[in-house]
A and B are shown apart, each in its own frame.
Chain A
């Protein structure tokens, strides 16, 4: 029983990291219609950016800001330099996925070429272990969960109450119509890449903190979790991605405690494939 409760704690932690990543991914898809598989590549580059700052003796919590900046900038470059030119040419979505896979290779193995094949760890203080019954997390872990919740609230406020959020929702619903209504969709798309890139970068840094040690290829399997969360909530749905992250985070960690931890990601995979085959628009999305 205690193992089960403990796994809920870890599940929340995984969900926190996953939510940051999945919301960014799903918003990118909503506004630009690109399934950007290079997303996990951007994450890992950002995680290494935070590592570089951290190595210079700065706290990782400040270093995370470097990850945010790196993710934001890199995502913008990726869209303006690669995806947008391809899309303007009328490249079909499947070819866009191939392009994004090419970019994924470039980012991941470019990082490996620069940083070397050995895994790295942040220098960070986990803080005291907080206990509530058999529910235990370190201060740093609790801080990650709180950070994620704060960011989710900010995303909610942005989507619901700001002009930018409304413009993003309009652009994702129908880009041409939005443009004809006077929304500068190109600018909305650019800002979306900056914002989602920031989320991606933050997710990278938090992923690094949570993982303990990581290498250039560490986010390969994490991408599966991101995709599972995104498709569970319905691709393009920010709230769906949050819900998806919570479900996937808990499901993987609880199954790890119940079965064997080696196969915890398989649960996410099974959910993803089930969603793709039965309801590709997500639990909240429309039926096809």
Chain B
């Protein structure tokens, strides 16, 4: 009985640690590592060969590399190290440009192949038979068969699981964790805001791999054997099932999932008596049940049993735990807030009725107050800050952008108009680095940036927004804004690990700055809402604010006014003019001619991938070609 309980506890600890590693990797960072189990396997093998004597011992009945005979705790440390190091080459597969599902398949296949290799190549890790007689930690000091040892091991396993939980929670609740979650929600946008996806994914793989390796080392010290059967690719799916069922993005959920799926479902049912004449039936049905659990949960409760927690930041300041859509307090700020919120065009019928009531008459200031934006350079109008020469991009033979040369002057508000399919958004994407050009050069601040990836251009101040909704859905509005701030202290793994004492002060500044920004756009009341729950117009505002938080020097806006109430659009236009006066360069793709008329100079007209004309709107209106191509419609 004692052995049963202690075994369950050890397995529970091991499964919980593994699930926490996967939760960090998949739930927080969105890296779909279908090869997760090989990191656990690597940890187990590493701990095994580090603690085993050379393979000539015991009559040389098994063969393996290593055999270093190291005492505790080195095998366990080695397990985590090997798990982490093994993750580094995997970063190539989950690189920047590969579709998520392709990467997932690549990792799955890798897991299948590693298993095949280890099974077939006997000298490495004793092939299909696997390692046996792996020493238990401290077995020279205490008899591993004794009840005391069993209890000690199980308590240590549970403690280690708890430490792992505290560790992943610490890094998830840091700015680093927030950046990972932003990448999970929308990696292209995170890239365009200056986040280095490759390094973020690599660090997620390494951390998850080290945790998985630790779980393997812990397990092998207890069961004393490890073979390829223990880590088939399907074992990864069990861990995925656990994390999905427990709740994606919630580490407590991962622990719960570990208890429910691998532990309760697999280990505990191991003692169900086999069906006579068909010993394989129960295990086979277990696998079927795992498959059913995954599909059913993804369908009926995709958020899992314990859904991801919403991070309330402004709760106290806004005066309530959950800020209502339309604040009822008639203070000056609140009225302005209500006015702006209601001016945002509703996205759907489900829109809160309160936000559709007519706006109270508010006098907007003729000269808007400056936005809380850091301007990188002193205003210095006139020189060319961004230009492209011969820029082209074709999609399977279609020339979306064809030999376009443009130059944008510092501190000007330039507009790009043109009919649908003119190549405006494609041109913008190439300027920002989201899309590599087929031909042509791009110069920014006198430097050729054609080959620079988007995140590095964003770090130099070349920031874009997107035409389609691109908010980080499972981040609150406040988090969306803060996530865009460059160079946060807590944004690296090291910073996150050092904890709130290291990055807390800067975080408070960031929150203040974001709060000021929200107030200027009248969205303070929505600070703690999920950005994905907002209306279409509100999401556009969040996106503009987020781009401003990224300290842009050049702001590339792709239809920022689409779906925004005309009155608010006008207000945004005024803000953009103010930004230009402060020294920021704005390039705006827009369909609304009245906006162009009022704010943009110069205006560039594109059609069929080419630049048709450039000049003030007044001049363009007298250009017959332009009128034919665009303005008539």
Contact = CB atoms under 8 A, between A and B. Distances in A.
A276 B106 contact: yes
Nearest to A260: B120
B316 to A, nearest CB: 35
A94 interface: yes
Interface in B506-565: none
Contacts of B632: none
Interface string A263-288: 10110010011001100100000101
B72 interface: no
Contacts of A104: 291
B109 A109 contact: no
B142 interface: no
Contact of B292 (A91, A106, A235, A272): A106
Contact of B280 (A116, A220, A227, A263): A116
A85 B292 CA distance: 16
Given A35-B101, A109-B288, A276-B93, A227 B295 contact: no
Contacts of B279: 117
B288 A220 contact: no
Contacts of B103: 276
B244 A112 contact: no
Given A113-B281, A220-B233, A102 B292 contact: yes
Interface in A69-109: 82, 85-86, 91-99, 101-106, 108-109
A86 B92 CA distance: 30
Interface majority SS (helix, strand, loop, mixed), chain B: helix
B284 A97 contact: no
Contact of B294 (A93, A102, A276): A102
Interface in B84-141: 92-93, 95, 97-106, 108-110, 112-113, 116-117, 120-121
B104 A97 contact: yes
A288 B244 CA distance: 32
A37 B292 contact: no
Contact of A266 (B32, B116, B233): B116
A127 interface: no
Interface range, B side: 35 or more
B294 A99 contact: yes
A158 interface: no
Contacts of B298: 86, 91, 95, 98-99, 102
Given A113-B284, A224-B109, A97 B291 contact: no
B98 A280 contact: yes
B288 A224 contact: no
Contact of A112 (B112, B121, B284): B284
Interface majority SS (helix, strand, loop, mixed), chain A: helix
A269 to B, nearest CB: 4
Residue with the greatest number of chain A CB neighbours at <10 A, chosen from B32, B234, B295: B295
Contacts of A116: 278, 280
A105 B291 contact: yes
Contacts of B292: 102, 106
B299 interface: yes
A116 B281 CA distance: 7
B393 to A, nearest CB: 12
A242 to B, nearest CB: 20
A288 B93 CA distance: 15
Contacts of B95: 277
Nearest to A225: B109
A93 B99 contact: yes
B295 A82 contact: yes
B505 interface: no
Contacts of A269: 109-110, 112-113
A224 B106 CA distance: 9
Contacts of B482: none
Interface in B252-302: 278-281, 284-288, 290-295, 298-299, 302
A221 interface: yes
A112 B110 CA distance: 24
Contacts of A103: 291, 295
B295 A99 contact: yes
Contacts of B110: 269, 273
B341 interface: no
Nearest to B241: A102
A98 B240 contact: yes
A276 to B, nearest CB: 4
Interface string A39-71: 000000000000000000000000000000000
A105 B234 contact: yes
Given A103-B291, A105-B290, A266 B101 contact: no
A101 B116 contact: no
A109 B244 CA distance: 21
B284 A288 contact: no
Contacts of A92: 100
Contacts of B102: 35, 231, 235, 276, 280
Residue with the greatest number of chain A CB neighbours at <10 A, chosen from B32, B104, B284: B284
24 contacts: A35-B101, A91-B298, A93-B100, A93-B101, A94-B32, A97-B101, A97-B105, A99-B294, A99-B298, A104-B291, A105-B237, A105-B291, A106-B292, A109-B284, A112-B287, A113-B281, A113-B288, A220-B112, A221-B116, A224-B109, A224-B112, A262-B120, A276-B93, A277-B98
Interface of A: 35, 37, 82, 85-86, 91-99, 101-106, 108-110, 112-113, 116-117, 216, 220-221, 223-224, 227, 231, 235, 262-263, 265-266, 269, 272-273, 276-277, 280, 286, 288
Given A94-B32, A113-B281, A269-B109, 14 more contacts: A37-B105, A94-B100, A97-B34, A98-B244, A99-B294, A101-B294, A102-B237, A106-B295, A109-B284, A263-B120, A269-B112, A272-B109, A277-B93, A277-B98
